[in-house]
Structure 1
Amino acid sequence: MIFITLGSQKFQFNRILKKVDELIEKDIIKEEVFAQIGYSDYRPINYKYEDFLDREKFSKLMKSSTLVITHGGTGAIITAVKAGKKVIAVPRLSQYGEHVDDHQLQLLKQFDGMGIILPCYDIEELDKKIIEIERIKLNPYISNTQVILDDIEKYIES
């Protein structure tokens, strides 16, 4: 199953939802898709969706997914890679009223540099990215939380 999660910010992200509908219609996406669409006003035709999910349902969908398609938000990306999921991230862009600025472009470049996700900077290439992510090996996510805690402990002890 492909799980689409668009976060809870008060911005629409209709472009990604429409593109997934198109890819299902063209039989490029053949597996089940479920989307958490947030404040988007586009209503998917070819797959199930809900505006918002409670924590339990979100976790269940994340766990059962083979691929997560998400916006370029740090929380959504980290949640998916921590769950060991392959992630395609598409940045929200201000020119489409999807955010106030284009900071998600910079965030995706950082994540791309780590090799833990597959960014999709151009929504028209989402079909190619879906095929590509099946063939590539992404780096596992490694949390630096323990490193930070160890550094704090060393500081306190010194």
Structure 2
Amino acid sequence: MIFVTLGSQKFQFNRILKEIDRLIEEGKITEEVFAQIGYSDYKPKNYNYKEFLDRDEFNNMMSKCDKVITHGGTGAIIGAVKNRKKVIAVPRLSKFGEHVDDHQIQIVEEFHRMKFILSVKNMQELEKNIYKLNDFKPKEYVSNTRKIIQSIELYIS
């Protein structure tokens, strides 16, 4: 199962929801998909969703899935990686009204560089990365929060 989680910030992320809908409609995603869509106003047609999940619902979805597609938020990425899920992260972009700036690009690139996740730079890469997830062997996450924060801060600066 693929769990799509878009966080709880007050920004839409319709682009990713529409692309997943298209991939399901074209038969390119055949497994079950469930999305926590947050403040997005696009309502998926081909998979189940809920705007927000409470903690128990979220944990239940995380335990049921083997793959996670998420936005570029640090918490969302680390949460999925800690749970040993195969992760694709797509940064929110300001030009689409998905965030106030493009800081998620650097976050996603750094987690990808460290081999924890697969990243999507443009939505056309999502399909091929979903296929790549089957063989992807992410680096095992060993909790060392301070070291990761320092690494990301160093990369961003």
Instruction: Give the TM-score, by structure 2 length.
Output: 0.91
Aligned residues: 147
Distance 1:55 1:137 in 2: 28
Distance 1:7 1:146, change over 3 A: closer
Deviation for aligned residue 1:25: 0.4
- Aligned residue type for 1:52: F
Describe how 1:2-13 pairs up with structure 2 within 5 A.
2-13=2-13
Aligned to 2:87: 87
Q: Based on CA coordinates, which of the two structures has the bigger radius of gyration?
A: 1
Is 1:68 aligned to residue 39 of structure 2? no
- Aligned residue type for 2:18: K
Describe how 1:56-135 pairs up with structure 2 within 5 A.
56-135=56-135
Aligned to 2:44: 44
Which consecutive unaligned segments of at least 5 residues does structure 2 have? Answer: 148-157
Is 1:142 aligned to residue 142 of structure 2? yes
| Root mean square deviation, CA, Å | 1.2
Distance 1:129 1:100 in 2: 26
Instruction: Give the TM-score, by structure 1 length.
Output: 0.90
Distance 1:20 1:145, change over 3 A: closer
Distance 1:95 1:137, change over 3 A: same
Aligned-pair identity in percent equals 61
Moved more, 130-139 or 67-76: 130-139
Distance 2:75 2:45 in 1: 27
Residue 132 of structure 2 aligns to a residue in which SS? helix
Residue 100 of structure 2 aligns to a residue in which SS? coil
Residue 61 of structure 2 aligns to a residue in which SS? helix
